[in-house]
Chain A
Amino acid sequence: MSELVVKNVTKRFGGLTAVNDVSFSVKSGEILGLIGPNGAGKTTLFSCLTGFHRPDAGSVVFEGRDIAGWSPNNICSIGIARTFQVVQILQGMTVLENVQVGAFLRYPGAAAARDKAIKVLEKVGMSKRAPVKAVNLTLPEKKRLEVAMCLATDPKVLMLDESMAGLTPTEIQEATSMLRQLREDGLALIVVEHVMEAIMPISDRIMVLDSGAKIAEGTPREIASNERVISAYLGDKYVKRCKV
């Protein structure tokens, strides 16, 4: 049982405050949905939690240690992994090799890493694509591969940045059932997604960012009827009209 506790994290780019004093927590066996309009700071928040950006203020505590400012590889080593919004894979290597790179973190031996990678590919339903060069995959496949690479590092916390973008409704069904399975396995998941049909049913809680700040947090039902959220997405006028 582990918990990631984020307190007052702030990240500025020059004059722009991309993440403004954000606090939240997520624990094993839980899916936290993270939504917000474009430019809200979702991706930047991920980068602050995984070492790709150093937060200007705040703490990120995981299993008793403040990991704010740690390097990405050390953060991955203690069990926190993320995917990228713009898909990032090892293009020139095969699907299996991509996953093997992740597996080597916990399984230094070549044979063990290979076994682990094969297992992970089975889990995400990509076994058939194992020998294909990653560059030749379709975009949804690449996104799925990226999830597999993360899973190969045996994370306790997994952050997915729009991994379901561009999927067909049936593929979204598959993806969400996989996320539910991961939650059963005891992972803590933070899922950024614009597709509401995908994120609403699977999230235990949802957090909403707007212009860097957290404007709401609650169950999907609470969020769907939250005025501030509706106005952030659709503008104040829409809220007023709803009220009438």
Chain B
Amino acid sequence: MANNKRFIYTLLIVLGIAIVLPLVLKARFQQHILVLVMLYAVLGEAWNIMAGYAGMVSIGQAAFFGIGAYVSTILFVKFQVNPWIGFIAAGLVTAAFATVIGLPFSRLRGRYFAIGTIALGQMIKVVFENWPWVGGATGMIIDMKKGSFWNFQFHASKTGYYYIALGMLVFVVVYIYIMERSKMGFYFKAIRENEDVATGLGVNKTKYKLLAIAISAGITGMCGTILAQYQLYVEPAYMFDHTISVTIALIAVFGGSGNIIGPILGSVILMPISELTRAWMGSSGSGIDLMIYGVFIVLMCVFEPDGLMGIARKAGRRLEARREKEVAA
């Protein structure tokens, strides 16, 4: 119980820091990084629900991300629907799409599931590239409106997007916190640990797998809307980029999946590194950031498969042991 309280206080302090950070880091490039860190923290948490908790490792989140981006953009460009409604619609449509596509996918186990998601991401991209109504390979441009919260557009400063993503992150973290302690969270973990045991204990594994996929996809789709509004355009090559899928998975694994903090930690550390290397290397250095990621991940897999959170937990245990020894002495 005391531990729980400490955990919540720590989260609140971090939230406080997150709220004031954009007031300190005002340069355009810094704010760009802040937006990406926040966006990928949410994306990492969404991946975490499906892969970290329910054990379905996806390397095709870009499919959901892109669909979300397109849903709100289509609604805005073709039907003049306010992007906030598009934001909600993006979540619902993506979740619905994921449920349908998840039905055959949920029968795949382990690495076959992962491979399936890679194929899915690429397939959806090709579909949108060949769909003239949504602009084919060139995509669509979102008309610039007066920058305001209501219009979901911010021009002078990018912090609006940052705070929207932060709001989402708070929402998702609270959701996962509750989920972890509820039947759904236990059932997700049981499926991850051993499907036969889970079904033997009454868990409807198809239902719970689809739930995990739908929730994860819905959140990911809403993040797509945020990026579309941030860039003011959508394009298949960008929104369905396989790099997005890989980055999401890497961030979560690096930080430590299957717990709340991991993906946030992963994003806070890896996103700035990737953006800075990309800036330093120039456009020619595309791919270098991913190589650096790769090195990080390999090191992590070799030395601490539970990610940064695993390291933190071990350090905590060692500290506690030392404290106990001191008390005893």
Given A91-B194, A110-B181, A110-B182: A105 and B201 interface contact (C-beta under 8 Å): yes
Point out the residues of chain A lying under 8 angstroms from B201, CB to CB: 73, 76, 81, 101-102, 105, 149-150, 152-153
Contact B196 A52 (CB under 8 A): yes
- Residues of A close to B187: CB separation below 8 A: 101, 104
Q: Select from chain B the residue with minimum beta-carbon distance to A77.
A: B202
Q: A113 contacts B202, CB within 8 Å?
A: no
Q: Which of A52, A90, A113 contacts B193 (CB 8 A)?
A: A90
Residue B104, interface by CB 8 Å: no
A90 and B189 alpha carbons, distance in the complex (Å): 9
In contact, A73 and B186 (Cβ under 8 angstroms): no
Q: Is the CB of B200 within 8 A of A88?
A: yes
Chain A residues positioned under 8 Å from B182 (CB to CB): 110
Query: Cβ of B181: which chain A residues have Cβ within 8 Å of it?
Result: 110
Min distance, Cβ B304 to any Cβ of chain A, angstroms: 16
Complex: A71 Cα to B226 Cα, angstroms? 41
8 Å CB contact of A113 from B183, B197, B198, B205 = B183
A71, B193: Cβ atoms closer than 8 Å: no
User: Which residue on A lies nearest to B201, using beta carbons?
Assistant: A102
Asked if A64 is an interface residue, CB under 8 A from chain B, the answer is no
Complex Cα spacing A71 to B199, Å:
8
Across the two chains, which residue of chain B brings its CB closest to A107? B183
Counting residue pairs across A and B whose Cβ atoms lie within 8 Å, the total is 78
Among B183, B192, B194, point to the contact of A104 (Cβ < 8 A): B183
B190 at the interface (CB under 8 A from A): yes
What B residues does A97 contact at CB under 8 A? 186, 189
Q: How far is the CB of A141 from chain B (nearest CB, A)?
A: 16
Please indicate the chain B residues that have their CB under 8 angstroms from the CB of A166 in the complex: none
- Judge whether B204 is part of the interface by a CB distance below 8 angstroms: yes
- For A89, the closest partner residue in chain B by CB is B197
Instruction: Confirm or deny: B203 has a beta carbon within 8 angstroms of a beta carbon on chain A.
Output: yes
Main secondary structure of the interface of B (DSSP, over half): helix
Query: What's the tally of chain A residues with a CB closer than 8 Å to chain B?
Result: 30
Chain B residues 170 to 191 lying within 8 A of chain A, measured CB to CB, are 181-183, 186-187, 189-190
Tally of contact residues, B, Cβ under 8 A: 20
A125 at the interface (CB under 8 A from B): no
Chain A, residues 51-79, CB within 8 Å of chain B (1/0): the string is 11000000000000000000111001100
From 106 to 120 in chain A, residues with beta carbon under 8 angstroms from any chain B beta carbon are 108, 110, 113
> Inside 8 A of A81's CB, which chain B residues have their CB?
200-201
A92 nearest in chain B by CB position: B193
> Whole-angstrom distance from the CB of B23 to the nearest CB of chain A?
39
User: Closest approach, in angstroms, between the C-beta of A129 and any C-beta of chain B?
Assistant: 18
Quick one: closest A residue to B185, CB to CB? A110
Q: Which residue of B lies closest to A105 (CB)?
A: B202
Interface check A43, CB cutoff 8 A: no
- Cα A97 to Cα B186 with chains together (Å): 8
Closest chain-A Cβ to B320's Cβ sits at a distance in Å of 15
Return chain B residues, CB-CB under 8 Å to A108.
Answer: 183
Provide the bound-state CA to CA distance between A149 and B192, in Å: 17
The contact string, 1 if C-beta is below 8 Å from chain B, for chain A 145-184, is 0000110110000000000000000000000000000000
Nearest chain B CB to A106's CB is how many angstroms away? 9
- Contact: B198 with A101, CB < 8 Å? yes
The complex places the Cα of A50 from the Cα of B197 at a distance, in Å, of 12
Q: Verify B189–A76 contact, CB threshold 8 A.
A: no
B317 to A: closest C-beta gap in Å: 13
The answer to whether A20 has its CB under 8 Å from any CB of chain B is no
Q: How far is the CA of A113 from the CA of B186 in the complex (A)?
A: 11
B:241-270 near A, CB below 8 Å: none
Q: Is the CB of A50 within 8 A of B186?
A: no
A100 with B193: CB separation less than 8 A:
no
* 8 A-B interface contacts by CB (under 8 A): A76-B199, A89-B194, A93-B189, A101-B186, A101-B187, A104-B186, A110-B183, A152-B201
Write the residues of chain B forming the contact surface with A, with a CB cutoff of 8 angstroms.
181-183, 186-187, 189-190, 192-194, 196-205
Instruction: Tell me the A residues contacting B by CB distance below 8 Å.
Output: 50-52, 71-73, 76-77, 81-82, 84, 88-93, 97, 100-102, 104-105, 108, 110, 113, 149-150, 152-153
4 closest cross-chain pairs (CB), A and B? A105-B202, A90-B193, A76-B202, A72-B199
Q: A82-B200, A90-B193, A102-B202 are in contact. List 12 more A-B contacts (CB 8 A).
A: A72-B199, A73-B200, A73-B201, A84-B200, A88-B194, A88-B196, A92-B189, A97-B186, A101-B187, A101-B197, A101-B203, A108-B183
